[in-house]
Amino acid sequence: MSCLSTCRIEFILATSQPYLYYKCRYINSLWGCMMLFRYISIVIAVCLVLSCGGQKESNLVFTVGGAPAEIDFWEELADEFTAETGIKITVNRQPTDTDQRRQGLVVALKAESSDPDIFLMDVAWVAQMAASGWLLDLEQFGSDGSFSLEPFYRNVIELADRYNNKLIALPVYVDGGLLYYRADLLDRFGYDDPPRTWQELIEQAVRIQAEMQDERADFYGYIWQGAQYEGLICNFLEVAVSGGGGIVNQSGEIEINTEANLEALRMMRAMIADYEISPPNTYTEFTEEEVRVLFQQGKALFERNWPYAYKLHRAENSAVRDKFAIASLPHFEGGRSVATLGGWHIGISRFCDLPDQALEFVRFVTSYETQKKLALNLGWNPGRRDVYDDHEVLNQLPHFAQLQEIFENAYPRPTLPYYTQVSEVMQRYLNSALAGEMTPRDALRKADEEIETIVSRYSQ
């Protein structure tokens, strides 16, 4: 009997802070083993965050995750900061996995640890951390007149970085959904411009896919992220809000079961089941990378993805290297293009014991010079608008000229302290509708009912 069938595992991990205990008596499946190893990874990430408590004397601690090359560059920036200011700072490395990064921060903040002092947050976490009282108010930035919020995207600051009228974060890396399209194929089939509306996208995709499948059977008209995860929420919001829908209504209340949302979900399902312009495994397998790889192999006309894919599509081994362009995502007739806001924001822990020095580091990271370096060295989309006009940046990253307009229409997910729970419910029901297991109407109704329970629990 292999270790992946039935095995008995007892695993106890104790550290000085906090005491962590995990016991799994019987694991009867590969999934069980995967979950155990995922847990262990999270525990290790937590320990890495907390371990800095023993290293610190008067140093700032900045926690950041991502690819090794990204963290290496953050360490270079930290050295520059120390050289400029004399303030010592330690970069605490986190894993690439976003959920592990969040878990590591949450445990440290729940423990009211003085480390980390400063950290990057996914935009979806900001409200949760603010509601928990874990973030320092940054409004004091402007108190001496030496700092202005003017260079930042106003919609990002007001909708994502303020909570209860307090400025609790600043954007370091801004992200938003884009439409990638095969400019060569649109030209070949007589289209001057990319689709302006969802209906135009469907019409172009149906026609060109039919022609292209004579050359290769695995060619599709439109590929996007439909698997059950946060990316599905981002895709749904871009379609729904472009027709007047969304998660929160004009009264500020969560309302999922609306006619605009129903029209959006029906159209997304129809792209897979009726028009067949999106592959049947869209709702089982498609996340960012599956979609990115297919488009890069020349197997799709339109792709919805984030800006990170641009540089990869331009690689020398890309089948679409000189054949694609980007545009805003389509909208319903009479609506507007919407890009779900993503990205990373910097905040200071309320338990930070060096707040003045931490504020200085935030000022350094969000400065024009540092934001430009992050763009040129990592390809990060700056949180400041003015860097998008920089000639050196545009020379190296010409698509930034289009990104600026797209980010002006970025739409954040709701700033709710219980957003992750709302998202989990929506992911489950939206995915069921895409799979044909429920009607779109029933999926939205059931999602509304479960979310109402969550809201009631938090309102007590």
* Tokens 């729904």, located at residue: 240
| Rg (the chain; Cα; Å) | 23
Give the pLDDT band (50/70/90) at residue 244: very high
Residue type, 376: L
Q: Which residues lie across from 342 on neighbouring strands?
A: 175
Residue pair 175/397 in contact (Cβ under 8 Å)? The answer is: no
Report the range of poorest mean pLDDT among 92-106, 219-233, 366-380, 437-451. Answer: 92-106
Residue 68, Cβ neighbours under 10 Å: how many?
9
Half-sphere CA count of 162, side-chain side, radius 13 A: 12
- Top pLDDT among 253 and 269 is at 269
Distance in angstroms (rounded) separating the CA atoms of residues 318 and 292: 11
Contact assessment for residue 85 and residue 53, using Cβ atoms and an 8 Å cutoff: no
pLDDT above 90: residue 287? yes
What percentage of the chain exceeds 70 in pLDDT?
86
Instruction: Report the share of the chain in percent with pLDDT over 90.
Output: 72
Which pLDDT belongs to residue 128? 87
- Which residue, 16, 112, 133, is CA-closest to 353? 112
- The mean pLDDT of 262-278, rounded to a whole number, is 98
- Token representation of residue 142: 């402007």
pLDDT exceeds 70 at position 26: no
In order of 246, 256, 264, 327, the CA distances from 249 in angstroms are: 7, 9, 16, 28
141: pLDDT strictly greater than 90: no
For residue range 73-130, what is the model confidence (pLDDT) as tens digits? 999 999 999 999 999 999 999 988 888 899 999 999 999 999 999 999 999 889 889 9
Neighbours of 430 (CB within 10 A): 28
Q: Is the pLDDT of residue 405 over 90?
A: no
Structure tokens at 110: 């729940």
**In this predicted structure, which of 13-17, 67-71, 188-192, 359-363 has the lowest mean pLDDT?**
13-17
Do 344 and 121 meet the contact criterion of CB atoms below 8 Å apart? Answer: yes
Q: Among 136, 143, 222, 119, which residue's Cα sits nearest to residue 179? A: 222
- The model's confidence at residue 459, banded by pLDDT at 50, 70 and 90, is confident
pTM of the model: 0.79
Residue 281 has pLDDT above 70, yes or no: yes
- pLDDT of residue 27 exceeding 50: no
Task: Compute the Cα dihedral for 70, 75, 78, 79 and give only its sign.
Answer: negative
